[in-house]
Amino acid sequence: MSNSYADAHEKSINDPEGFWGPIAEDCHWYKPWDKVLDDSNLPFYRWFAGGETNTCFNAVDLHVENGLGDQDAIIYDSPVTDTIKKYTYKDLKEEVSLFAGVLASKGVTKGDRVIIYMPMIPEAVFAMLACARIGAVHSVVFGGFAANELATRINDAKPKVIVTASCGIEVKKVIQYKPLLDEAIELSDSKPDACIIFQRPQAKAEMTDGRDFDWKDAMTQAAPHDCVPVAATDPLYILYTSGTTGQPKGVVRDNGGHMVALKWSMSAIYGVNQGDVYWAASDIGWVVGHSYIVYGPLLKGCTTILFEGKPVGTPDASVFWRIISQHKVKTLFTAPTAFRAIKREDPQAQLMSGFDLSPFKYLFLAGERLDPDTLTWAENSLKVPVIDHWWQTETGWAIAANCVGIEQFEVKPGSPTKAAPGWNLAVLGEDGHPVGPGEIGAIVAKLPLPPGTLPTLWQNDERYKESYLSEFPGYYETADAGFIDEDGYVFVMARTDDIINVAGHRLSTGAMEEVIAEHPDVAECAVMGVGDSLKGQIPLGMMVVNAGVDRPEEEIVKEVVQLVRNKIGPVAAFKTATVVKRLPKTRSGKILRGTMRSIADQKSYKVPATIDDYTILDEIEDSLGKIGYGKKA
């Protein structure tokens, strides 16, 4: 690999096949590819077409064959259950091949979908890898989503089998998963043939005869299953992510490109090698969990930490330092919100003292904008490089990063540094033409996207084209706005759509509005993301109630909050709403969410020229003031 970022980036853009082809040799292939990049069916690109491989083989068996069988593959560290359990690569191979046998015994074969709705326990990782082993397509659903969201995903993915656990543990709360699963299956048109339930001691799930099977019983009866060769272009997983409506987007990830890009990224971006301990403090329900709790570190032969806990409260704000020192973590990856939570509890970082953090080399942050306060605090306390990088569920790995394994650049606060190799970024103005350095516009990536990125949306090529490729032909639209400065540093400022970022979780305000509008007393509503010192943003609802409704406002707000929790889930963190007389709109009827958000966040704003009646903005200020937002708070 070149040791100059400029050379690597230039080669990746001008000769993508020459760049990624040799990198792919680092993986195991049953059959080599015919073409590194197949562009015969534009605008769809396929990486390593004609090649055959198996992601699970590369992430597990290959290391055992290469003599790493006794190295730890997974360290499960669960302060919420007071457990630390280690699995070597040999152990992992045993668990995964047995669970692959369980899936096969339930009729799951190549191409079938399996939904995994599980907390952060090793069995969740076994289930993901077992799917990969037999060529089944997994779709992991985050535990903080409600039954309704799970049902939407069941309906779209049509899984043959669903794997779940009896419960998750949120600090001290035991969250029963099984009733949510039962409700979701009830709500969905598509029904799985079987559900496999991992019973945890904290809660016992009621089983449905003939449909539900106990994980442990099934494992004792199963025969281990070997890896099945799949096409590089076959799907490995579907991960649903928020779109602008209540119907989430099923981001597809292929096997070949994903494996190549992730294995490469471990050293090129994160500076880790085989044998190093890598920790992504996220959840397997998010893309960070897929890429950097499971696939990336295991493909590279690292030891990955599976953490079932929170940055604070399990038991306190020292847990990150305890884990880094106890397991000798070299690189930690989490969201800025986790560090804001720690900083709030322990502003002087006193809890760090007494822990040997000497093996720790890098902190990587992503998922939301890294605010300069958090960056400075982390740098000063940890005394290691703190690296912001920018990516999305769709991209699977970083679009822009300080690639410490290639060439480490000086950090510019507020910037995730430069476009990663493979990413040909541009900033376009409203007319679709590139703007100059430092000028804000839509950040786009010229096609083709590098390997590991989404080839399409699950069974929805049209939505893929319409969502990402139609606005700026020839480019992938990231839906993030920002600028690139004269040194090539990227600055990501805001989303251009209705997506908000709550504690590093991506949520759709449109989806919340759809739920609120179902309330019988609500005539119309708007949800916007307002600033929050811990979570970055939180959703805030503004509602107009139907004429003639004279119930107390608090009652309606309470019901609406509960409705969003029931329909979307606690992860939406929708707790604040207010009733307003009217919503400000343009003459064409578009609700001025941006203006209301500026009022709530006490930011200056231009009174829109298109608004008819300015008194409406005073009314909004009054309503926001009543719930503690804006100047009148």
Q: What is the DSSP letter of 534?
A: T
Q: For residue 31, how many other CB atoms are within 10 A of its CB? A: 12
Binding-site member from 451, 504, 539, 541 for ligand COA (CB under 6 A):
504
**Shortest Cβ distance from residue 275 to ligand AMP (Å)?**
28
Binding-site member from 337, 393, 453, 595 for ligand COA (CB under 6 A):
337
- The answer to the question of residue 367 lying near ligand AMP (CB under 6 A) is yes
Tokens representing residue 120 in the block: 């952060």
Angle of helix 16-24 relative to helix 5-14, nearest 10 degrees, comes to 110
- C-alpha to C-alpha distance for 496 and 478, rounded to whole angstroms: 9
- The answer to the question of residue 247 lying near ligand COA (CB under 6 A) is no
Binding-site member from 50, 224, 570, 608 for ligand COA (CB under 6 A):
570
480 binds, among ligand COA, ligand AMP, none (CB under 5 to 8 A by kind): ligand AMP
287 binds, among ligand COA, ligand AMP, none (CB under 5 to 8 A by kind): ligand AMP
Cis peptide before 122 (omega within 30 of 0): no
**Shortest Cβ distance from residue 565 to ligand AMP (Å)?**
20
Give yes or no for a contact between 449 and 397, defined as CB atoms under 8 angstroms apart. Answer: no
Binding-site member from 170, 379, 524, 619 for ligand COA (CB under 6 A):
170
- The answer to the question of residue 506 lying near ligand AMP (CB under 6 A) is yes
388 binds, among ligand COA, ligand AMP, none (CB under 5 to 8 A by kind): ligand AMP
- The answer to the question of residue 249 lying near ligand AMP (CB under 6 A) is no
- The answer to the question of residue 282 lying near ligand COA (CB under 6 A) is yes
**Shortest Cβ distance from residue 90 to ligand COA (Å)?**
30
Q: Which stretch binds ligand AMP (CB under 6 A): 22-30, 383-391, 526-534, 590-598?
A: 383-391
Q: Which stretch binds ligand COA (CB under 6 A): 133-141, 190-198, 330-338, 466-474?
A: 330-338
- C-alpha to C-alpha distance for 331 and 324, rounded to whole angstroms: 9
Phi first, then psi: give them for residue 203, nearest 5 degrees. -160, 145
SS3 call for 397: coil
319 binds, among ligand AMP, ligand COA, none (CB under 5 to 8 A by kind): none
SS3 call for 590: coil
Q: For residue 1, how many other CB atoms are within 10 A of its CB? A: 13
- The answer to the question of residue 297 lying near ligand COA (CB under 6 A) is no
- The answer to the question of residue 335 lying near ligand COA (CB under 6 A) is yes
Contacts of 399 (CB under 8 A, 6+ apart): 390, 391, 392, 419, 420, 423, 425, 445, 478, 490
- The answer to the question of residue 241 lying near ligand AMP (CB under 6 A) is yes
Tokens representing residue 253 in the block: 């990830």
334 binds, among ligand AMP, ligand COA, none (CB under 5 to 8 A by kind): ligand COA
- The answer to the question of residue 144 lying near ligand AMP (CB under 6 A) is no
**Shortest Cβ distance from residue 269 to ligand AMP (Å)?**
13
Strands 386-388 vs 362-365: parallel, antiparallel or unpaired: parallel
Binding-site member from 392, 417, 456, 467 for ligand AMP (CB under 6 A):
392
- Nearest-5° angle of CA 232, CA 236, CA 241? 130
- The answer to the question of residue 390 lying near ligand AMP (CB under 6 A) is yes
Q: Which stretch binds ligand COA (CB under 6 A): 110-118, 203-211, 309-317, 474-482?
A: 309-317
Burial of residue 3, with CB atoms counted within 10 A of its CB: 0-12 exposed, 13-18 middle, 19 or more buried: exposed
- The answer to the question of residue 501 lying near ligand AMP (CB under 6 A) is yes
Strands 249-254 vs 72-78: parallel, antiparallel or unpaired: unpaired
Strands 173-176 vs 167-170: parallel, antiparallel or unpaired: antiparallel
Binding-site member from 85, 495, 565, 582 for ligand AMP (CB under 6 A):
495
Q: For residue 159, how many other CB atoms are within 10 A of its CB? A: 27
- The answer to the question of residue 140 lying near ligand COA (CB under 6 A) is no
**Shortest Cβ distance from residue 561 to ligand AMP (Å)?**
23
Residue among 441, 458, 564 nearest 509 (CA): 564
- The answer to the question of residue 421 lying near ligand COA (CB under 6 A) is no
Burial 606-616 (b: 16+ CB within 10 A, else e): eebeeeeeeeb
Query: Which of 167, 479 has the CB closer to ligand AMP?
Result: 479
- The answer to the question of residue 16 lying near ligand COA (CB under 6 A) is no
Binding-site member from 79, 367, 422, 536 for ligand COA (CB under 6 A):
367
Query: Which of 398, 545 has the CB closer to ligand AMP?
Result: 398
Could you list the beta-strand ranges (E) of 186-248. 194-198, 212-214, 230-231, 235-241
11 binds, among ligand AMP, ligand COA, none (CB under 5 to 8 A by kind): none
Query: Which of 101, 504 has the CB closer to ligand COA?
Result: 504
- The answer to the question of residue 539 lying near ligand AMP (CB under 6 A) is no
- C-alpha to C-alpha distance for 349 and 617, rounded to whole angstroms: 43
**Shortest Cβ distance from residue 441 to ligand AMP (Å)?**
15
Residue among 129, 97, 131, 100 nearest 113 (CA): 131
Binding-site member from 28, 310, 322, 582 for ligand COA (CB under 6 A):
310
Largest CA distance in the chain: 74
Residue among 80, 82, 74, 168 nearest 117 (CA): 168
Give yes or no for a contact between 240 and 232, defined as CB atoms under 8 angstroms apart. Answer: no
| DSSP states along 469-523 | ISSSTTEEEEEEEEEE-TTS-EEEEEESSSEEEETTEEEEHHHHHHHHTTSTTEE
- The answer to the question of residue 381 lying near ligand AMP (CB under 6 A) is no
Ramachandran region of residue 133, left (φ > 0), alpha (ψ -120 to 50) or beta? alpha
Binding-site member from 277, 454, 573, 580 for ligand COA (CB under 6 A):
573
Query: Which of 504, 539 has the CB closer to ligand COA?
Result: 504
Phi first, then psi: give them for residue 429, nearest 5 degrees. -85, 180
**Shortest Cβ distance from residue 465 to ligand COA (Å)?**
28
Query: Which of 232, 335 has the CB closer to ligand COA?
Result: 335
- C-alpha to C-alpha distance for 236 and 111, rounded to whole angstroms: 9
Q: How far apart are the first and last CA of the chain?
A: 56
**Shortest Cβ distance from residue 32 to ligand COA (Å)?**
35
- The answer to the question of residue 480 lying near ligand AMP (CB under 6 A) is yes
Length in residues, the chain: 633
Q: Which spans of this chain sit near ligand COA (rule: CB under 6 A)? A: 119, 143-144, 168, 170, 175, 282-283, 286, 288, 310-312, 334-335, 337-338, 341, 367, 503-505, 534, 570-571, 573
User: Which stretches of the chain bind ligand AMP, using CB under 6 A?
Assistant: 241, 287, 366-370, 388-393, 416, 480, 492, 495, 501, 506
